[in-house]
């Protein structure tokens, strides 16, 4: 009898791509394994109009999936790592992260070749306060608007003229076969990505040793190290949608470099760090403390 793993996922097009990606990777790594996808609709999916801050933060996209894990209706849950809250229910955790796709933000427009080319007063839409604040720092002359909905509905709103441009994730557009809609990727120096952006993570019960052993085969160690470094900043600052935090780590020749951003209204804090790979979490904690010393904990 074949071994079966039940995979919980949101039912949006992007979430289903991620679920099928993990399913294929697991089944390829373990011949005979059958991964069953259990689609679920979260509060964040049901309410596409309210700002995330009103819904309770990014955790609205994962809570129902975690309940399925706790109740034993699923063995693993697949998430976009940028949507994963800092605190997990007892007994759950991210146990594997797949190799990261391009983590940059994408400028998408039908009329301007780049973010810098938008005319003054242009309407720029994004669901992310982190993105809006960083871009406003560079272009305070634009009209920054919130935009909710899945990728396709946001693109439709752009095409119908509600916005002159919108900001999405490069990774999401590529995964949906919409790379042709990327007008210009935004340099991470201008818009530091969210912690975990572009990475797909797998959450599981920490006492399920059999499942953890299977997941270890698809964990990408370099991505796991970088995303863990990024999330250490978010955890140290008590990240939520009310506190716009960005953290982006890269790994080269055994060294991890970390960029961070925290902002609210007209205050923008940026701190960088660099360390050996095995000291990355300590370095991330030092960077977090520097942000706190500059007042990051008072920006909520």
Q: Does 282 reside within a domain?
A: yes
Are both 133 and 265 inside the same structural domain?
A: no
Q: Does 137 reside within a domain?
A: yes
Number of domains, the chain: 3
What SS3 class is residue 177? coil
Q: Does 192 reside within a domain?
A: no
Q: Does 37 reside within a domain?
A: yes
Q: Does 23 reside within a domain?
A: yes
131, 52 contact by CB (below 8 A): no
Q: Does 190 reside within a domain?
A: no
75, 83, 102, 164: the active-site residue: 83
Q: What CA dihedral angle connects 110, 16, 62 and 284, to 10 degrees?
A: -70
Are both 17 and 88 inside the same structural domain?
A: yes
Are both 25 and 93 inside the same structural domain?
A: yes
Whichever domain contains 244, its CATH number is 3.30.160.40
Are both 237 and 205 inside the same structural domain?
A: no
Are both 40 and 157 inside the same structural domain?
A: no
Are both 32 and 119 inside the same structural domain?
A: no
Provide the residue range defining the domain that includes 272.
220-300
Q: Does 115 reside within a domain?
A: yes
Are both 41 and 81 inside the same structural domain?
A: yes
Are both 269 and 206 inside the same structural domain?
A: no
Summarize pLDDT for 112-147 with one digit per residue, the tens: 999 999 999 999 999 899 999 999 999 999 999 999
- Report the relative pairing of strands 267-276 and 200-205 from DSSP bridges: unpaired
Q: Answer with the one of 164, 185, 206 that is the final residue of a domain.
A: 185
Q: Does 284 reside within a domain?
A: yes
Are both 94 and 202 inside the same structural domain?
A: yes
Concerning whether 83 is annotated as a catalytic residue, the answer is yes
Q: String of b and e for 237-258 (b: at least 16 CB within 10 Å)?
A: bebbbebbbbbbbebeeeebbb
Are both 93 and 76 inside the same structural domain?
A: yes
In a 13 Å sphere around the CA of 243, the CA atoms on its Cβ side amount to 25
Judged on CB neighbours under 10 Å (0-12, 13-18, 19+), 227 is buried
Are both 225 and 212 inside the same structural domain?
A: no
Summarize pLDDT for 143-197 with one digit per residue, the tens: 999 998 889 999 999 999 999 999 999 999 999 999 999 999 999 999 999 999 9
114, 58 contact by CB (below 8 A): no
Are both 21 and 91 inside the same structural domain?
A: yes
Whichever domain contains 139, its CATH number is 3.40.190.10
pTM of the model: 0.89
pLDDT tens per residue across all 300 residues of the chain: 679 999 999 998 999 999 999 999 999 999 999 999 999 976 554 444 544 444 344 556 688 899 999 999 999 999 999 989 888 999 999 999 999 999 999 999 999 999 999 999 999 999 899 999 999 999 999 999 999 888 999 999 999 999 999 999 999 999 999 999 999 999 999 999 999 999 999 999 999 999 999 999 999 999 999 999 999 999 998 854 467 899 999 999 999 999 999 987 678 999 999 999 999 999 999 999 999 999 887 765
197, 97 contact by CB (below 8 A): no
């Amino acid at each position: 009898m074949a071994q079966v793993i039940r995979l919980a996922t949101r039912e949006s097009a992007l979430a289903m791509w991620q679920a099928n990606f993990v399913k294929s990777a697991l089944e390829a790594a373990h011949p005979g394994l059958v991964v069953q996808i259990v689609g679920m609709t979260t509060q964040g999916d049901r309410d596409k109009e309210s700002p995330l801050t009103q819904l309770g933060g990014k955790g609205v996209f994962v809570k129902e999936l975690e309940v399925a894990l706790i109740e034993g209706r699923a063995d693993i849950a697949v998430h976009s790592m940028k949507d994963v809250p800092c605190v997990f229910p007892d007994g759950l955790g991210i146990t594997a992260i797949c190799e990261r796709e391009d983590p940059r933000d994408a400028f998408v427009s039908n009329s301007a070749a780049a973010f810098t080319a938008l005319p003054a007063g242009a309407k720029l839409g994004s669901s992310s306060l982190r993105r809006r604040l960083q871009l406003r720092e560079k272009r305070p002359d634009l009209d920054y608007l919130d935009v909710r909905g899945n990728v396709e509905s946001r693109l439709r709103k752009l095409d119908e003229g509600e916005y002159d441009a919108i900001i999405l994730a490069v990774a999401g557009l590529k995964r949906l076969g919409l790379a042709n809609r990327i007008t210009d990727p935004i340099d991470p120096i201008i818009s530091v990505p969210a912690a975990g952006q572009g990475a797909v993570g797998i959450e599981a019960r920490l006492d399920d040793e059999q499942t953890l052993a299977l997941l270890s085969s698809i964990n990408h160690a370099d991505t796991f190290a970088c995303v863990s470094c990024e999330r250490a900043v978010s955890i140290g600052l008590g990240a939520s949608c009310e506190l716009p935090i960005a953290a982006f780590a890269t790994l080269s020749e055994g060294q991890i470099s970390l960029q961070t951003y925290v902002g609210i209204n007209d205050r923008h804090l940026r701190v960088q760090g660099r360390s050996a790979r095995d000291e990355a979490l300590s370095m991330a904690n030092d960077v977090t403390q520097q942000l706190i010393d500059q007042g990051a904990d008072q920006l909520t």
